[in-house]
């Protein structure tokens, strides 16, 4: 299964923020959309960074509430791991497990084309396993699902 298959189901919409947005503004964006991370981009298409709730927690613990008025660029991760739409889903699973992050932006031709979260991966795997279980059960019982 490919990343494209995941994006086909969930769509290619990505919530982005600009690097100069304050951390307070970022909190409002994450809360509004019910998400845990946003891609940081100055021009709306190039990935400049990624910022997740973990970055907020870490910086709050280190520097206190003053962080809330700092720009997102002060707490973002700039070395972002991205994947191409034709990458295998297994590649993203490996990346998330080894690097311990839950979001991977999808990029094609240098432009942001979607985002895949660990929730999307798990959902896709469950659907896949249910399909396999149903096919096996049909094979054993002779009933076609
Ligand atoms: P997450 O588990 O996605 O909330 O992120 C955990 C940490 O990894 C945070 O410091 C994020 O900024 C960072 N992070 C999240 N996704 C990526 C990614 N695709 N590439 C690099 N760092 C990331």
**pLDDT per residue over 103-132, tens digit each?**
999 999 999 999 999 999 998 888 888 888
CATH assignment at residue 44: 3.10.580.10
* Residues 67 and 53: beta-carbon distance below 8 Å: no
Query: Whose Cα sits closest to atom 15 in ligand 1?
Result: 101
Q: Which residue has the higher pLDDT, 76 or 9?
A: 76
43-97 residue pLDDT tens: 999 999 999 999 999 999 999 999 999 999 999 999 999 999 999 999 999 999 9
Predicted local confidence at residue 71, as pLDDT: 98
At residue 14, the 3 state secondary structure works out as: coil
Q: Say what the pLDDT of residue 73 is.
A: 98
Closest residue by CA, ligand 1 atom 5: 101
- Quote the ligand 1 centre to 100 CA distance (angstroms): 8
Could you give the number of structural domains in the chain?
Answer: 1
Residue 106's CB is within 10 A of a number of other CB atoms, namely 24
Domain that holds residue 68: 3-141
Q: Which residue has the higher pLDDT, 140 or 104?
A: 104
pLDDT computed for residue 59 by the predictor: 98
Residue 103 Cβ inside 6 Å of ligand 1? The answer reads yes
Distance 42 CA to ligand 1 centre (A): 18
């Amino acid at each position: 299964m490919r990343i494209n298959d995941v994006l086909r189901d969930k769509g290619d919409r990505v919530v982005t923020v600009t690097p100069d947005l304050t951390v307070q503004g970022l909190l409002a964006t994450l809360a509004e959309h019910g998400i845990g991370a946003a891609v940081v981009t100055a021009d709306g298409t190039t990935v400049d960074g990624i910022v997740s709730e973990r970055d907020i927690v870490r910086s709050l613990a280190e520097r206190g509430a003053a962080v809330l008025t700092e720009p997102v660029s002060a707490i973002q991760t700039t070395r972002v791991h991205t994947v191409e739409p034709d990458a295998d889903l297994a590649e993203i699973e490996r990346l998330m497990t080894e690097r311990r992050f839950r979001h991977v932006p999808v990029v094609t031709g240098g432009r942001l084309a979607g985002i895949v979260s660990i929730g999307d991966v798990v959902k896709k795997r469950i659907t896949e396993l249910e399909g396999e279980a149903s096919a096996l059960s049909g094979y054993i019982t002779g009933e076609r699902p």
